[in-house]
Amino acid sequence: MKSTLYLLFMLLLLSPNASAEIIYVPDDYSLIQDGINSAHDGDTILVEPGTYAENLNLNGKNIVVASRFLTERDSSYIRSTIVDGDSAGTVFSVNSGEDSTTTILGFTIRNGFAPYGGGFYISSSSPVIRDNIIEDNYMSGGGGGLYCAGENTNALIMNNIIRHNQGNSGGGIFAAQASTPVIENNMIYENATVGIGAAMCIMESSLRISGNTIKDNYTHYPGGGIMSFDSDIIIANNCIIGNEGERGGGIVILNYVDDMVRIINNVIYGNNATDYGGGLVIAAPNHEIKNNIFWANTADNHNPQIFGESPRVTYCCVEGGFGGAGNISDNPLFRDADTDDYRLSAIECGQAEDSPCKDTGDPTIFDAFIDCEDGGIGDDLCDMGAYGGAGIPTGIDEQQPKKLPVKYSMLSNYPNPFNATTSIVFTLKRESEVNIDIYNVRGQKIEPLVNSRFKAGEHIIRWNAEDFATGIYFCKLKSPDGEICKPLMLIK
């Protein structure tokens, strides 16, 4: 039986609304939809492991719907808490004005079947969709995994695995009708369409696609990876690998309006076009293409790397060469492309030689710091490729979370839950550079705590959260030996 104290902690933790409740499924309701129907704004539906054959609609409620992954941070809960659409419609519909406090987190979402949005149908709403596996959904129109459409659709789609979805266009994600989603740090792979945009199809929208791994998606039509039409789009710090389409195996951009296209710091590798433009096809009056690596792309007819109407390509590594300031054609020397490791070789990171893409990106941009694991390795200018510039890591780990390295550890904060101030304890086995940052439930960094070098031994830092609302936060510790994230419970 759950203790009264635990209930109180969780009620206060998950919402700043003092009257918020946690509704347990199946303890309080056997069906998730019944729990949603009984919920009020600010409530949390906490779902135990199991398979739930349901087609869910949030009906305008600003709530959190989550598996035990929310509280335990154990990815096994994602795989064991399944919402199965049973081919009877969209699995999750969020289309009644839900705001950004609405979160769907920690599920496997599968077997949706609908004209638009097999896994998710999102319209005129701004939910957070994160830490889910969205797989084996089907649509006859657009968006096998997720469909986002309409003004005021500002969904945040992050840290998901989006795979094996299929249908007409946008096998993984379809965004249209002036929607403005952010698609960040997802792994989008092995989706397929009989139309355009196997991984993503973007039409007349404005969005950012960053930090994703987009891999092995397939269509007979244009856009094996990303197909974008008349959209204001930023494609940054992604690995776009092994996709196939008729034209533009990796990316197709077609803009007949003045919207801006920015393709910056990506690895575009091993994609194939059965016609032309294996890596990129672009026709857009306003565009910026820089700091990318185009390598090992193929085309059955011509232009295996880039095809376009006078594309302006600068500070890129392009196999076979390409005209433009700062472009190079040397082998980029990935650490191990055969195992999908597209980080650049660097002597300071233990490789035999430096990649020619190190420190050769746009000279007006600088890497934040040398990071052999996730960031840029350049110490003067930014690097070309997915890990340079902003230094956004690509993809997510679909396996169990990495075990804490024996070289360091971080203990839970105390007290926990806490009011205003808490202490965070970590132990280092050797002297190391350490970064500790605080994130909110949307994955946004809200406060940097530490960016310093520490000696071996135990260390204590304090976080004063007086200016923040009651809720759940995450403390992320990062060192050269790895990283770990712990939930913090702020109660006021």
pLDDT in tens, 254-313: 999 999 999 999 999 999 999 999 999 999 999 999 999 999 999 999 999 999 988 999
Percent of the residues in the chain that have a pLDDT greater than 70, as a whole number: 88
Q: How confident is the model at residue 232 (pLDDT cuts 50, 70, 90)?
A: very high
Q: pLDDT tens digits for 73-91?
A: 889 999 999 999 999 999 9
User: Averaged over 113-138, what is the pLDDT?
Assistant: 97
In a domain, 239, yes or no: no
- Model pLDDT, residue 370: 60
If one compares 374 and 49, the residue with the highest pLDDT of the two is 49
DSSP bridge pairs for 255 = none
Nearest to 205 by CA among 232, 226, 183, 182: 232
In a domain, 150, yes or no: no
Tell me which residue range forms the domain holding 419. Answer: 408-490
- Model pLDDT, residue 284: 94
Contact assessment for residue 146 and residue 120, using Cβ atoms and an 8 Å cutoff: yes
Percent of the residues in the chain that have a pLDDT greater than 90, as a whole number: 68
- The domain that holds 420 is classified in CATH as 2.60.40.1930
Mean pLDDT of the chain: 87
Cα(245)–Cα(299) distance, rounded to whole angstroms?
10
Contacts of 157 (CB under 8 A, 6+ apart): 129, 130, 146, 148, 173, 181, 182, 183, 184, 186
- Model pLDDT, residue 291: 96
Nearest to 200 by CA among 486, 456, 184: 184
Q: pLDDT tens digits for 319-373?
A: 999 999 999 999 999 999 999 999 999 888 889 999 999 999 998 877 655 667 6
Residue 402 has pLDDT above 50, yes or no: no
In a domain, 482, yes or no: yes
In a domain, 436, yes or no: yes
Residue 10 has pLDDT above 90, yes or no: no
In a domain, 196, yes or no: no
If one compares 415 and 374, the residue with the highest pLDDT of the two is 415
Cα(110)–Cα(135) distance, rounded to whole angstroms?
5
Nearest to 32 by CA among 95, 102, 87, 81: 81
Residue 398 has pLDDT above 60, yes or no: no
Q: pLDDT tens digits for 162-219?
A: 999 998 999 999 999 999 999 999 999 999 999 999 999 999 999 999 999 999 999 9
- Model pLDDT, residue 11: 43
- Model pLDDT, residue 111: 98
- Model pLDDT, residue 490: 81
- Model pLDDT, residue 84: 98
- Model pLDDT, residue 379: 58
Radius of gyration over alpha carbons of the chain, in Å? 23
In a domain, 454, yes or no: yes
Cis before 401 (ω within 30): no
Residue type, 42: G
Residue 4 has pLDDT above 80, yes or no: no
In a domain, 458, yes or no: yes
Tell me how many domains the chain contains. Answer: 1
- Model pLDDT, residue 368: 54
Structure tokens at 343: 């980080």
User: Averaged over 388-403, what is the pLDDT?
Assistant: 42
Residue type, 298: T
Residue 19 has pLDDT above 60, yes or no: no
In a domain, 32, yes or no: no
Q: pLDDT tens digits for 455-478?
A: 877 787 889 998 888 777 888 888
Residue type, 229: F
Structure tokens at 328: 């190079």
Q: Locate tokens 């008349």: which residue?
A: 230
Cis before 415 (ω within 30): yes
